[in-house]
């Protein structure tokens, strides 16, 4: 890096970056998000899915062109600092780190629920430690494991969708988006907010900006490619659930994909869902640990987190202290709390994160723009609308976390000023 700080190694190509994004997006959310979305919107969850995808695309274009201009670790934390100022960057980074650390714990517990329902917490901690060890050894190992996980999940989901449509007695009249629009426009928007987190994985591509080859070309392609594949897969799953189960049964289910598989009457589909659920959770956890570690690295470099977390391993060229710290915090959360209800909280943090990204992209000069500025207006409005339509408890918790973060940064800034005055 130009400022003399140790840099991460550029080892990832376009395919690797696409896989990391897919591993983040096609995760455990596909097995959990459709139930809450159906409770909010009924069959209009398909409209919610489309709205979430539109907002995600606007956000993706902002992230892509910002990452091309600032190809370093940290994602929107860096973009907000560079384009809007330190406080905007801190807001984005804080929301990302806190929200996605909780999501890491939720993914670890979900993985353990599929593979060891009798002892989920010890297995969840073991999964966190194992994946942290993989990431510690280098980002290319993370990408290789992500390829395997993504392949397993995609094959399993396609198999379940086909089996459900063939053997589950689908009724296509149930797929009418307005046939059972339970919550009206408000419910539809709430379902979009709940489903949005499923598309948020492309942020992990941007946070790896310091580790991809030719970032100006690779990152925009990877983000858009991963988003397109994810939208097709989620739309197929949503249509299948409505056709086989209906909106009411989907809303009542805690595991609608598994219920659709059971409706076929074929025993093998249950095993496939278990394998897919475990693999999806593992893939999401792997990508989340990498993304949170890189954002923590960027924040530590600027003093917004303890500076010791800014270290880069001399051999493996990864932010090893940040990754270890994240793994420790996630393991504590896994042992202390049940966080599988964190979808709304994660969405709150991620939507604020992308709101900052869109504002930052709006300020980019013409020579760095790759997409129309109108997309950033759409992104800002979309993020704001989806945030305020999330469940009130989620919004209150999110606001509380933002206030705590602001108090933390004010205290650190005050301490630095006092230290500077003392030296003077």
Name the pTM for this structure: 0.76
pLDDT of residue 202: 65
User: Is residue 423 assigned to a domain?
Assistant: no
- Range with the lowest mean pLDDT among 111-125, 150-164, 335-349? 335-349
The listed range with the strongest mean pLDDT (105-119, 306-320, 393-407) is: 393-407
Separation of alpha carbons 125 and 103, rounded Å = 14
Separation of alpha carbons 99 and 77, rounded Å = 14
- Report the CATH number at residue 343: 1.20.1740.10
212 DSSP β-pair partners: 12
Q: Quick one: pLDDT band at residue 203, thresholds 50, 70, 90?
A: low
* Mean pLDDT of all residues in 95-103: 85
Separation of alpha carbons 47 and 244, rounded Å = 18
Q: Quick one: pLDDT band at residue 140, thresholds 50, 70, 90?
A: low
Name the phi and psi angles at 365, rounded to 5. Answer: -70, 170
Question: For all residues of the chain together, what is the average pLDDT?
Answer: 83
User: Is residue 205 assigned to a domain?
Assistant: yes
Number of folded domains that form the chain: 1
pLDDT at 2 exceeding the cut of 50: no
- Provide the percentage of residues in the chain whose pLDDT is more than 70: 87
Separation of alpha carbons 360 and 234, rounded Å = 29
Which residue do the tokens 């489309």 mark?
Answer: 50
Q: Quick one: pLDDT band at residue 376, thresholds 50, 70, 90?
A: very high
Structure confidence by residue, pLDDT tens digits, 328-370: 999 998 887 654 446 667 778 888 999 999 999 999 998 888 8
Q: Quick one: pLDDT band at residue 132, thresholds 50, 70, 90?
A: confident
pLDDT of residue 266: 87
Separation of alpha carbons 110 and 123, rounded Å = 10
* Mean pLDDT of all residues in 398-422: 86
pLDDT at 230 exceeding the cut of 70: yes
* Mean pLDDT of all residues in 85-97: 93
Tokens of 347: 């969405």
pLDDT of residue 340: 46
pLDDT of residue 85: 95
pLDDT of residue 359: 96
pLDDT at 4 exceeding the cut of 60: no
Structure confidence by residue, pLDDT tens digits, 250-298: 888 877 888 888 888 888 888 888 888 888 888 778 878 888 888 888 8
* Mean pLDDT of all residues in 134-157: 73
Structure confidence by residue, pLDDT tens digits, 402-411: 999 999 899 9
pLDDT of residue 280: 81
Answer with the residue of higher pLDDT: 148 or 327.
327
User: Is residue 411 assigned to a domain?
Assistant: no
The listed range with the strongest mean pLDDT (11-15, 114-118, 141-145) is: 114-118
pLDDT of residue 139: 54
pLDDT of residue 342: 60
Expressed in angstroms, the distance from the first to the final Cα of the chain is 30
- Range with the lowest mean pLDDT among 109-123, 133-147, 164-178, 248-262? 133-147
pLDDT at 159 exceeding the cut of 70: yes
User: Is residue 403 assigned to a domain?
Assistant: no
Name the phi and psi angles at 244, rounded to 5. Answer: -85, -45
pLDDT at 208 exceeding the cut of 70: no
User: Is residue 3 assigned to a domain?
Assistant: no
User: Is residue 84 assigned to a domain?
Assistant: yes
User: Is residue 125 assigned to a domain?
Assistant: yes
Among 385, 417, 409, CA closest to 58: 385
Which three-class secondary structure string do you get for 188-246?
HHHHHHHHHHHHCCHHHHHHCCCCECCHHHHHHHHHHHHHHHHHHHHHHHHHHHHHHCH
Q: Quick one: pLDDT band at residue 60, thresholds 50, 70, 90?
A: confident
pLDDT of residue 375: 93
Distances (CA, A) of 351 to 46, 171, 383, 387: 20, 35, 5, 7
| Domain with 350 in it | 14-391
pLDDT of residue 242: 92
Q: Quick one: pLDDT band at residue 204, thresholds 50, 70, 90?
A: low
User: Is residue 335 assigned to a domain?
Assistant: yes
* Mean pLDDT of all residues in 55-61: 88
Structure confidence by residue, pLDDT tens digits, 170-195: 888 888 777 666 668 888 998 888 88
């Amino acid at each position: 890096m130009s400022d003399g700080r140790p840099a991460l190694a550029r080892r990832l190509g376009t395919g690797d970056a696409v896989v990391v994004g897919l591993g983040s997006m096609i995760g455990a959310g596909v097995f959990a998000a459709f139930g809450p979305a159906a409770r909010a919107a009924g069959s209009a969850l398909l409209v919610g899915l489309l709205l979430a995808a539109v907002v995600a695309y606007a956000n993706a274009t902002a992230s892509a062109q910002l990452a091309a201009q600032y190809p370093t670790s940290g994602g929107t934390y860096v973009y907000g600092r560079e384009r809007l100022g330190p406080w905007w960057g801190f807001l984005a980074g804080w929301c990302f780190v806190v929200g996605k650390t909780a999501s890491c714990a939720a993914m670890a517990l979900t993985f353990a629920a599929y593979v060891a329902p009798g002892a989920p917490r010890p297995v969840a901690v073991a999964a966190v430690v194992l994946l942290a060890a993989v990431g510690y050894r280098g980002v290319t190992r993370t990408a290789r494991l992500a390829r395997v996980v993504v392949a397993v999940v995609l094959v399993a989901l396609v198999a379940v969708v086909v089996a459900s449509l063939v053997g589950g007695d689908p009724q296509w009249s149930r797929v009418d988006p307005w046939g059972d629009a339970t919550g009206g426009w408000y419910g539809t928007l709430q379902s979009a907010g709940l489903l949005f987190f499923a598309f948020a994985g492309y942020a992990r591509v941007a946070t790896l900006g310091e580790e991809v080859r030719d970032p100006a070309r690779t990152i925009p392609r990877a983000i858009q490619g991963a988003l397109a594949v994810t939208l097709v897969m989620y739309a197929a799953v949503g249509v299948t659930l409505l056709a086989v189960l209906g909106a009411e049964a989907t809303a009542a289910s805690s595991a609608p994909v598994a219920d659709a598989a059971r409706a076929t009457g074929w025993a093998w589909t249950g095993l496939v869902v278990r394998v897919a659920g475990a693999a999806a959770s593992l893939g999401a956890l792997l990508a989340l640990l990498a993304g949170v570690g890189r954002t923590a690295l960027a924040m530590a470099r600027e003093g917004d987190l303890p500076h010791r977390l800014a270290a880069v391993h001399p051999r493996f060229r990864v932010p090893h202290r940040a990754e270890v710290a994240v793994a420790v915090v996630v393991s504590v959360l896994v042992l202390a709390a049940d966080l599988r209800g964190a979808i709304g909280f994660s969405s709150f943090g991620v939507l604020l994160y992308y709101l900052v990204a869109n504002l930052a992209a709006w300020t980019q000069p013409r020579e760095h723009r790759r997409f129309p500025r109108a997309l950033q207006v759409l992104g800002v409005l979309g993020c704001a609308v989806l945030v305020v339509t999330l469940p009130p408890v989620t919004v209150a918790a999110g606001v509380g976390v933002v206030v705590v973060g602001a108090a933390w940064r004010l205290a650190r800034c005050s301490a630095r000023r006092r230290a500077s005055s003392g030296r003077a």
